[in-house]
């Protein structure tokens, strides 16, 4: 995997969109082909850069493109594909009235994070030639569901595959006794389960690969600090380690020592509180110039 | 004479084959019942979201649904015998 993947995660309001925009801008300035992807349904990047973005990447400056994930589009596309397969497979679909059921399926719990995963997979495929992909993630709840979905899915998929294996073996026994030879057709469900397992293992690998960098962001206040501790723990529970701590809107004194001690061993970047609002390309550029020791993570994971 | 013996032989072979098939079918009846139950459990596990029991993440159900027409059908069939599971079991075991 040649491309560097950067996630910006943390409590809502800590400044993930701004720091991911600054990082992407800095990476582009250093000559690395970068795309900034807004995964947050609230989509602040269009406000920050003061221009509309869509699913189609839009070039903002040299080496930097931005796109916003449209979750509704990914949910609709997924449901449409499944429905088409269902129509093909089921001869009596109308008997179950599944067609009308699809209208409410988009409100099913879990579909939002799956749509996010589909968009993530698609971005990796379409943008693999770039040097960096920077993901501006949604607030904690959806982000945690996004990261844990492959993990939870794999638990289910492996259990279902085991049961399916038992069913397949029993079919083999019946065929052997009845017809004297083990002659059973390929189990499509078993094949699909195997392919889903491979897909989810691959997704898990993306989250833990060397080129992946998870930036956990917080402010030096108690609420975001405590939430950051919980995020780190929950990610560790599913085998994902964070790569860096970003302290944004740093004000002097408060909690800084405690944060440093708590996250001892992790690289820590500090983004000082800006004197003005970080709004528009010029103010972002100005902010990077204002601070001589500006610690933006660079594309090879070091601190400038 | 040869033709008569041939006919006898063919009849014996037919009787033997039929007996063999019947015995083989009887031998797998219980395994087939067990298989049907396993298929039903698999269907309930995957499609649990449709009947209000804990289910896998929705995308797993959605991905497998087009391939599970038989299991869905089986679940519906099972509904009719759900009130009398012992009766269903006894009929498989040949208990009157």
A303 in a domain, yes or no?
Answer: no
Per the model's pLDDT, the better-predicted residue between A114 and A285 turns out to be A114
Choose among A82, A111, A166: nearest Cβ to B65. Answer: A82
Q: What is the CATH number of the domain that holds A139?
A: 3.40.50.300
Distances (CA, A) of B78 to A14, A36, A195, B60: 53, 52, 30, 23
A164 in a domain, yes or no?
Answer: no
Range of the domain at A98: 4-145+210-298
- Kindly indicate the confidence band of residue A20, based on its pLDDT and cuts at 50, 70 and 90: very high
Residues on chain B touching A90 (C-beta within 8 angstroms): 66, 69
Bridge pairing between strands A4-10 and A268-272: unpaired
Per the model's pLDDT, the better-predicted residue between A186 and B82 turns out to be A186
The pLDDT tens digits of the residues spanning A165-201 come to: 999 988 888 888 877 776 677 889 999 999 999 999 9
Alpha carbon of residue B74 to chain centroid: 10
B52 touches chain A (CB under 8 A): no
3-state SS class at A251: coil
How many domains does chain B fold into?
Answer: 1
Does the pLDDT of residue A239 top 80, yes or no?
A: yes
Least confident segment among A142-156, A193-207, A235-249, B73-87: B73-87
How many domains does chain A fold into?
Answer: 1
A79 in a domain, yes or no?
Answer: yes
CB–CB of A215/A246 below 8 Å?
yes
B65 touches chain A (CB under 8 A): yes
Range of the domain at B82: 2-93
Tokens 């075991």, residue located: B93
């Amino acid at each position: 995997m040649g491309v560097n993947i950067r996630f910006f995660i943390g409590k809502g309001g800590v400044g993930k969109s701004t720091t991911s925009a600054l990082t992407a801008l800095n990476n582009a300035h250093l000559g690395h082909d970068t795309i900034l992807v807004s995964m947050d349904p609230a989509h602040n990047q269009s406000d920050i850069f003061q221009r509309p973005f869509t699913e189609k990447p839009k070039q903002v400056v040299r080496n930097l493109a931005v796109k916003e994930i449209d979750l509704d589009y990914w949910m609709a596309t997924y449901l449409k594909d499944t429905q088409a397969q269902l129509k093909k497979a089921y001869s009596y679909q109308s008997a179950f009235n599944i067609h009308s059921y699809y209208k409410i399926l988009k409100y099913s719990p879990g579909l939002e994070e799956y749509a996010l995963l589909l968009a993530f997979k698609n971005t990796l495929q379409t943008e693999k030639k770039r040097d960096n992909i920077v993901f501006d993630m949604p607030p904690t709840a959806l982000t945690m569901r996004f990261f844990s979905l492959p993990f939870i899915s794999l638990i289910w998929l492996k259990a279902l595959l085991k049961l399916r294996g038992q069913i397949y073996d029993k079919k083999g026994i019946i065929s052997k006794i009845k017809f004297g030879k083990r002659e059973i057709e390929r189990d499509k469900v078993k094949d699909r389960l195997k392919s889903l397992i491979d897909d989810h293992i691959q997704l898990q690998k993306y989250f833990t690969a060397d080129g992946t960098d998870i930036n956990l962001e917080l402010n030096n206040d108690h609420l975001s600090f405590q939430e950051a501790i919980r995020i780190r723990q929950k990610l560790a529970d599913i085998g994902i380690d964070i790569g860096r701590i970003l302290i944004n809107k740093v004000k002097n004194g408060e909690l800084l020592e405690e944060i440093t001690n708590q996250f001892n061993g992790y690289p820590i970047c500090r983004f000082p509180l800006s004197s003005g609002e970080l709004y528009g390309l010029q103010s972002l550029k100005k902010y990077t110039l204002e601070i001589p020791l500006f610690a933006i993570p660079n594309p090879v994971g070091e601190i400038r | 004479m040869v033709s008569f013996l041939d006919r006898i032989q063919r009849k014996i072979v037919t009787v033997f084959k039929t007996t063999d098939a019947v015995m083989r079918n009887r031998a797998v009846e219980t395994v087939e019942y067990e298989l049907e139950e396993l298929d039903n459990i698999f269907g309930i596990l995957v499609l649990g979201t449709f009947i209000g029991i804990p289910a896998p993440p929705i995308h797993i159900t959605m991905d497998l649904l087009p391939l599970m027409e038989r299991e869905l059908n089986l679940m519906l069939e099972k509904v009719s015998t759900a009130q009398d599971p012992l009766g269903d079991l006894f009929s498989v075991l040949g208990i009157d």
